[in-house]
């Protein structure tokens, strides 16, 4: 058999070309598969490293704002007790003791007045003698008024406060009474009687004793501070609020406080008309009436503001530098939104600038930054 060399040569060349093409295709397939698999792995790696976050969907609405305040209750009625005379505080079954309560006009303290009381009796006696000495002249010269002067003398009692002198019925009678020194003696007695009253102190209202500086048996002098007297059922809470909110606070607005599981109600009674120069705050005074409250009690409460503003309430921990918040973009990357703070609460804030259905990131993520890949957990 004779071999056709040219034909054999062409066939060999063809087989080599086909084999080379097949090899190229095979290599291309392997390389493309590797690349695709590598991309899948990279995407899986990115997905696995994305931070899980919880989000809150924004829903703007009108918010009723309440201003958080705190302070200590003070009895609305509070006076300091001073001695206006000298003497020993009488022993009286330890009535003058811290914590004791008294009704209005009930005796709180008495200072020994025996010596001064004798002086007052002596002055009354002098007036009585003087009236007795003028009765004969009055019977003759002013007979139309004799019965009144006689009755005054008969009813005179040196152990009781003197009564008003009879009213004179003529200028002549008046000159006579003044000339005899009756009027001046009368007012001397009245002055001593007023001073005698200062040896006793009575409760000006229902209340109790606090911060006593003396006890029964102590020698006191004029001007000495004895202690304080406060009401037991009428209290006031005075607080300072930023001046920008003062215009939204209304007098007689109801305010509530809670203490030991019980709720007590009060009212805004007064709003200062001035602004403190240093703090730029305004004083607000809230009154409470309840016997279960105590002077000096520390309380927290909220004052309703006559202000409604559209916005969204968020936790203060979600605010960054009080200027912006982190949100979730459509492609699950971290985005930033600027916000404007309408009101600061104790733990929350009302902000504007967020559209409804914005996904606000509520989870704390250390090192969070704009563009970070995240996954929503809820």
Asked if 26 and 16 sit in the same domain, the reply is yes
Last residue of a domain, one of 208, 230, 252: 230
Q: Where are the alpha helices (DSSP H) in the chain?
A: 5-49, 114-141, 146-154, 171-179, 182-197, 243-246
Whole-number pLDDT of residue 52: 86
Measure the CA–CA gap between 217 and 197, rounded to whole angstroms: 19
Whole-number pLDDT of residue 47: 45
User: Residue 358 maps to which CATH number?
Assistant: 2.40.420.20
Query: What is the rounded average pLDDT of the residues 118-145?
Result: 95
Whole-number pLDDT of residue 34: 46
Inter-residue contact 301 to 286 (CB < 8 Å): yes
Last residue of a domain, one of 150, 174, 197: 197
Asked if 127 and 260 sit in the same domain, the reply is no
Asked if 57 and 121 sit in the same domain, the reply is no
Whole-number pLDDT of residue 207: 94
Whole-number pLDDT of residue 231: 94
Tokens of 210: 């606090």
Average pLDDT of the chain is 85
In tens, the pLDDT along 316-374 reads: 888 888 889 999 998 889 999 999 888 877 788 888 889 899 999 888 888 888 899 98
Asked if 82 and 134 sit in the same domain, the reply is no
Whole-number pLDDT of residue 124: 96
Whole-number pLDDT of residue 33: 53
Asked if 106 and 206 sit in the same domain, the reply is yes
Asked if 178 and 296 sit in the same domain, the reply is no
Query: What is the rounded average pLDDT of the residues 116-130?
Result: 95
Last residue of a domain, one of 273, 307, 341: 307
Whole-number pLDDT of residue 30: 58
Helix axes 171-179, 182-197, angle to 10 degrees: 70
Measure the CA–CA gap between 349 and 346, rounded to whole angstroms: 8
Whole-number pLDDT of residue 216: 87
Taking CA atoms, 314 is separated from 62, 78, 345, 363, in Å, by 14, 43, 10, 12
Share of the chain above pLDDT 90, in %: 54
Asked if 81 and 226 sit in the same domain, the reply is yes
Q: Whole domain around residue 284: which residue ranges?
A: 68-74+233-307
Share of the chain above pLDDT 70, in %: 87
Measure the CA–CA gap between 233 and 295, rounded to whole angstroms: 9
Whole-number pLDDT of residue 53: 87
Asked if 265 and 275 sit in the same domain, the reply is yes
In tens, the pLDDT along 69-104 reads: 889 999 999 999 999 999 999 887 678 889 899 999
pTM: 0.65
Query: What is the rounded average pLDDT of the residues 309-318?
Result: 86
Total structural domains within the chain: 5
């Amino acid at each position: 058999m004779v071999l056709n060399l040219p034909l054999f040569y062409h066939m060999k060349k063809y087989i080599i070309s086909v084999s080379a093409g097949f090899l190229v295709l095979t290599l291309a397939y392997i390389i493309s598969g590797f690349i695709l698999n590598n991309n899948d792995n990279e995407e899986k790696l990115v997905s696995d490293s994305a931070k899980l976050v919880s989000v809150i969907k924004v829903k703007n609405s009108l918010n009723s704002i309440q201003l958080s305040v705190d302070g200590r209750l003070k009895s609305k009625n509070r006076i300091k007790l001073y001695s206006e005379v000298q003497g020993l505080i009488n022993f009286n079954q330890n009535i003058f003791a811290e914590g004791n309560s008294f009704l209005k006009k009930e005796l709180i303290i008495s200072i020994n007045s025996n010596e001064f009381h004798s002086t007052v009796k002596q002055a009354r006696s002098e007036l009585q003698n003087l009236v007795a000495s003028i009765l004969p002249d009055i019977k003759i010269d002013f007979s139309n008024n004799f019965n009144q002067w006689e009755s005054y003398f008969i009813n005179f009692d040196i152990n009781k406060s003197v009564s008003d002198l009879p009213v004179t019925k003529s200028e002549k009678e008046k000159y006579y009474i003044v000339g005899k020194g009756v009027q001046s003696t009368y007012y001397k007695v009245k002055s001593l009687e007023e001073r005698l009253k200062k040896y006793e102190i009575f409760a000006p209202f229902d209340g109790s004793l606090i911060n006593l500086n003396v006890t029964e048996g102590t020698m006191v002098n004029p001007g000495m501070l004895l202690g304080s007297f406060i009401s037991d059922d009428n209290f006031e809470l005075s607080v300072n609020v930023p001046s920008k909110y003062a215009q939204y606070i209304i007098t007689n607005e109801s305010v509530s406080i809670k203490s030991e599981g019980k709720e007590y109600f009060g009212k805004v009674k007064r709003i200062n008309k001035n602004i403190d120069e240093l703090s730029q705050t305004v004083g607000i005074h809230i009154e409470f009436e309840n016997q279960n409250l105590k002077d000096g009690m520390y309380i927290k409460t909220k004052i309703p503001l006559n202000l409604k503003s559209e916005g969204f309430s968020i936790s203060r921990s979600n605010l960054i530098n009080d200027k912006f918040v982190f949100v979730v973009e459509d492609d699950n990357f971290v985005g930033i939104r600027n916000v404007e703070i309408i009101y600061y609460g104790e733990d929350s804030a009302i902000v504007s600038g967020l559209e409804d259905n914005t996904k606000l990131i509520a989870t704390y993520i250390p090192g969070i930054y704009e563009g970070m890949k995240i996954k929503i957990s809820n």
